[in-house]
């Protein structure tokens, strides 16, 4: 009886081990969710999702489609945090022996950078005068004496920024960083669809007025336009064509229509002739007013 129970126990252990092995094989192991390793510290998918959830739209959507860019920011913050701790700085929670939170980490990074780059950079009179001459047309006719303090502050901030960027480059260069590019590809969201060149040509021949947004998925004002254009497309279905053209995907089309700024909204009449153009973000009210001028009610 005792031998039988021992054998049964061994079978259970083997089965449990098999389940564990199956789970590890199926999930890819505990490292399957690792996006990057920064000097031995892991950045996992769950932390990535936590951080990106704090970002407001449309930036969140842009980062979801290009997670490598957001991950790079997380890597830089981790490097700065590691350097801060190397210099002996601890967050309030760590000083009390508690686990550091994301907010306490951010506070520690801020404290560290403020201390490191607190020194006042000297700005010479020559630098101020050169700046003034280079940007005199933007000074609204004000004399050098009046704008000198502002110019000095701008130059000083520029020097601090250069110093910070060099500090980041040095940290990045000396760090041991491994990035799981395959995992990044798997978590990348699909960008919103844009219309094709063929769809654009067909719309101009439809006999209906056409509104075309020449933009890009990585352009914030363009992304802010998307829900507005979606509403207008739905509300004016059968009366007007509303398209979105990605200028980087269809560069020839963008060049043909001389698109220099995105977003650019081009309005075409029912004969396919451009009758109005607006550069930059355009409100729904303004778009509807323009469509009404073109006979779309």
In a domain, 256, yes or no: yes
Residues 219 and 280 in one domain: yes
Helix (H) / strand (E) containing 180: none
Q: What is the pLDDT of residue 89?
A: 84
**Digit-coded pLDDT (tens) for 96-127:** 666 667 788 888 999 999 888 888 789 999 99
In a domain, 89, yes or no: no
Lowest-pLDDT range of 1-10, 14-23, 192-201: 14-23
Judged against a pLDDT cut of 90, whether residue 76 lies above it is answered with yes
Name the domain count of the chain.
Answer: 2
In a domain, 115, yes or no: no
Residues 139 and 211 in one domain: no
Judged against a pLDDT cut of 70, whether residue 253 lies above it is answered with yes
Residues 166 and 201 in one domain: no
Q: What is the pLDDT of residue 118?
A: 81
- β-pairing verdict for 34-38 and 177-179: antiparallel
Residues 201 and 289 in one domain: yes
Judged against a pLDDT cut of 60, whether residue 13 lies above it is answered with no
Residues 165 and 215 in one domain: no
Judged against a pLDDT cut of 70, whether residue 14 lies above it is answered with no
Alpha-carbon gap, residue 229 to 212, rounded angstroms: 10
In a domain, 19, yes or no: no
Reported as a pLDDT band with limits 50, 70 and 90, residue 7 is: very low
The 3-class SS string of 142-162 reads CCHHHHHHHHHHHHHHHHHHH
Nearest in space to 221 (alpha carbons), one of 262, 261, 265, 278 = 262
| DSSP E strand stretches across the chain | 34-38, 41-44, 177-179, 210-215, 241-246, 264-268, 274-279
Q: What share of the chain is helix, strand, coil (3-state, %, to 5)?
A: 60, 10, 30
Average pLDDT over residues 192-202: 93
In a domain, 210, yes or no: yes
Mean pLDDT, the chain, as a whole number? 87
Residues 165 and 202 in one domain: no
Estimate to the nearest angstrom the gap between the alpha carbon of 278 and the chain centroid.
Answer: 25
Q: What is the CATH number of the domain that holds 229?
A: 3.40.30.10
In a domain, 225, yes or no: yes
In a domain, 66, yes or no: no
Name the residue range of residue 230's domain: 197-293
């Amino acid at each position: 009886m005792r031998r039988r129970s021992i054998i049964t126990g061994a079978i259970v252990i083997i089965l449990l081990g098999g389940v564990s092995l199956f789970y590890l094989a199926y999930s890819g192991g505990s490292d399957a969710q690792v996006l990057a390793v920064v000097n031995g510290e892991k950045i996992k998918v769950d932390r990535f999702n936590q951080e990106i959830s704090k970002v407001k739209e449309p930036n969140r959507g842009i980062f979801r489609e290009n997670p490598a860019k957001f991950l790079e920011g997380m890597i830089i913050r981790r490097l700065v945090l590691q350097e801060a701790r190397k210099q002996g700085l601890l967050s309030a929670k760590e000083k009390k022996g508690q686990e550091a939170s994301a907010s306490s980490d951010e506070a520690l990074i801020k404290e560290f950078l403020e201390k490191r780059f607190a020194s006042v950079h000297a700005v010479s009179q020559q630098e101020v005068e050169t700046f003034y001459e280079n940007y005199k047309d933007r000074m609204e006719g004000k004399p050098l004496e009046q704008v000198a303090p502002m110019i000095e502050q701008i130059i000083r901030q520029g020097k601090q920024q250069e110093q910070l960027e060099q500090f980041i480059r040095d940290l990045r260069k000396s760090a041991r960083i491994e990035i799981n590019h395959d995992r990044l590809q798997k978590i990348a969201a699909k960008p919103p669809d844009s219309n094709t060149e063929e769809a654009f040509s067909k719309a101009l021949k439809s006999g209906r007025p056409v509104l075309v947004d020449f933009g890009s998925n990585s352009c914030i004002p363009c992304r802010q336009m998307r829900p507005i254009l979606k509403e207008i497309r739905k509300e004016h279905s059968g009366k007007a064509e509303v398209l979105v053209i990605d200028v980087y995907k269809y560069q020839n089309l963008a060049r043909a229509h001389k698109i220099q700024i995105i977003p650019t909204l081009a309005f075409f009449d029912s004969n396919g002739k451009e009758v109005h153009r607006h550069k930059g973000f355009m409100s729904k009210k303004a778009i509807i007013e323009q469509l009404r001028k073109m006979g779309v009610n």
